[in-house]
Amino acid sequence: EESLQMWDLNKRLEAYLARVKFLEEENEVLKAEIRSAKGSSGSSPAGEPWRAKYEEELRALRDELDLLFKEKCTAELDRDNLSEEVEQVRSRCRKEQAAREEAKKQLSLGRKELEEERRAQIWLKERAAQLEKEVGTLLEVHEEEKAELEQEVADFSQSLESFPCAPVAFQPLEVEDYSKRLSEIWRGAVETYKTEVSQLEGSLCQAKENLWRVVEDNQQSQLQLQRLEKELEGLKVKKEMLEENLGRRWQEQRGEAEKFQLAAEALEQEKQSLRLQIAQVLEDRQQLMHLKMSLSLEVATYR
């Protein structure tokens, strides 16, 4: 029974020794890797270990993250400022549109007034021509009646001269007075028509002045409308440029944020993987120490 136990212990010792040899070889390999890692980190100018190097890189990346966050805040402020500028441009465009509509209304009113003045001018011209024709007709009728009256007076005078004596009731002076009064009446009528014609001419001149004033106002309104249209086109171009700049900045900021997010995720994954490797190495060393202690105890027990 004791020989069987001894044989079993020998078999277990042989297995433990093989396991210890394998673990020592693996430990030597790990030591060599750690030594090479320390040597590569020690060959740097700072002479820091690899963990300090990774922490330094992580710190640099955090600083870069802060810088990118600041740039992001600055870009957001610029975006807000650009939004305010765009809103101001839109409000100005609305004001310019309202001013242009008002100018169009004034222009349409001016055109209506111009048409009314033209119609009034045409009516005044026709009325003046009609009055001139009436005055000419009245003058011709007056001249004809005057000539007929003079002819009748002359014929009547000749017929009176043929009689030996004129009747007592006939007075040539009354005929002359009647002729003079008739001439004065016609002359007054002519003067009245001339006065009306002069008044119509004055009204026509006033209408012409009003027409020229309306034409000048119309030209000024057109010039103002053209200037407002040019300003509106300039504001539209500026608005498009601002929107393009805003969109480009937003895309650049979004791309930088995505790149930064990917870099941060990659660093975090690398950090986690390094932690897992370190934890695995420490766990393997701890297991190795436990195994060595158990083997030492078993060897001591065996001895």
CA distance 1 to 134: 166
- Could you tell me the pLDDT band of residue 20, with boundaries at 50, 70 and 90? confident
The average pLDDT across 49-65 equals: 76
For residue 47, what pLDDT band results from cuts at 50, 70 and 90? Answer: very low
Q: Give the integer Cα–Cα distance in Å for 270 and 277.
A: 10
pLDDT of residue 163: 45
Residue from 31, 197, 47 nearest 130 by CA: 197
Q: How confident is the model at residue 2 (pLDDT cuts 50, 70, 90)?
A: confident
Which has the higher per-residue pLDDT, 248 or 156?
A: 248
pLDDT higher than threshold 50 for residue 281? yes
Give mean pLDDT, residues 252-276. 81
Cα(53)–Cα(41) distance, integer angstroms: 8
Sequence-ordered list of residues with C-beta below 8 angstroms from that of 183, at least 6 positions apart, any chain: 146
| pLDDT value, residue 284 | 82
Q: Which residue has the higher pLDDT, 90 or 218?
A: 90
User: Percent of the chain, pLDDT > 70?
Assistant: 86
Q: Residue 159's pLDDT is what?
A: 60
CB 287 within 8 A of CB 19: no
Can you tell me which residue has the tokens 């001149």?
A: 205
pLDDT tens profile 117-143: 788 778 877 877 787 787 778 778 767
The closest alpha carbon to 105, from 212, 213, 211, 218, belongs to 218
Q: Average of pLDDT values for 216-245?
A: 82
- Domain ranges, ordered by start, for the chain: 2-37+53-158+180-302
Smallest CA-to-CA distance from 35 within 54, 57, 52, 50 is with 50
- The residue that leads in pLDDT, 52 or 238, is 238
3-state secondary structure 84-122: HHHHHHHHHHHHHHHHHHHHHHHHHHHHHHHHHHHHHHH
Tell me, what's the pLDDT at 170?
43
More confident residue, 208 or 1: 1
User: In the predicted model, is pLDDT for residue 100 greater than 70?
Assistant: yes
| pLDDT, tens digit (0-9, with 9 covering 90-100), for 138-186 | 778 767 777 777 777 677 666 655 645 444 444 555 566 766 777 777 7
Does residue 269 register a pLDDT over 60? yes
| Average confidence (pLDDT) over 65-83 | 82
| Element at 8 (helix H, strand E) | helix 2-42
